[in-house]
Structure 1
Amino acid sequence: MYFLLIGVAALLLKYMEIGPVATLSWWIVLSPFALAVAWWAWADKSGYTKRREIDKMAKRKQHRIDRQRDAMGMLSAKKRK
């Protein structure tokens, strides 16, 4: 996501000819988009994206269980703090 933000900012600066970005080559200005594609390909291939999704779901599930236990008065003293 950061690569996309950097790429859009660089693209706007290049198009509007603002600052030192105006003198840069288009290849350099567009390179963050290629890096974003490479990052997403690596994240999907390595399983990084899926692991983050599973971790997020596990945290959400545990929060829901803790909330229900607290409502029933079954939450341990350690977790009440």
Structure 2
Amino acid sequence: MPVILLIAALVGLRYFEVWKFAALSWWWIIGLMFVAFIWFEFVEKILGLDKKKAHNVDEARRKARIKEAFDKANKR
């Protein structure tokens, strides 16, 4: 996500020709976009990071459900 924010900032700074970014080549920004695309489409899946995020959400839901069940059992 930080890469996407960096790309958006660079596009804005380059488009409005702010400070030294006015001389920045669009190819650097396009290259960064290409790197972000490769990362999110291929590398993240190869490393299993997309599944890890989903697994963490499921794990948190499971723990909350177990805690709720024990709280209800203790109130009886």
Scaled by the length of structure 1, what TM-score is found?
A: 0.77
- Map residues 1-81 of structure 1 onto 2, 5 A cutoff: 1-40=1-40, 41-73=42-74
SS in 2 for 1:43: helix
Equivalent pairs: percent with the same residue?
26
Q: Is the 8 A contact 1:11 1:29 kept in 2?
A: yes
Separation in 1 of the partners of 2:56 and 2:39? 20
Separation in 2 of the partners of 1:71 and 1:19? 61
Gaps of 5+ in 1: 75-81
Structure 1 stretches of at least 4 aligned residues deviating more than 3 Å after TM superposition? none
Partner of 1:78: none
Q: Is the 8 A contact 1:3 1:36 kept in 2?
A: yes
Gaps of 5+ in 2: none
Q: Which amino acid aligns with 1:33?
A: M
Q: Which structure has greater helix proportion?
A: 2
Scaled by the length of structure 2, what TM-score is found?
A: 0.81
Q: Is the 8 A contact 1:43 1:49 kept in 2?
A: yes
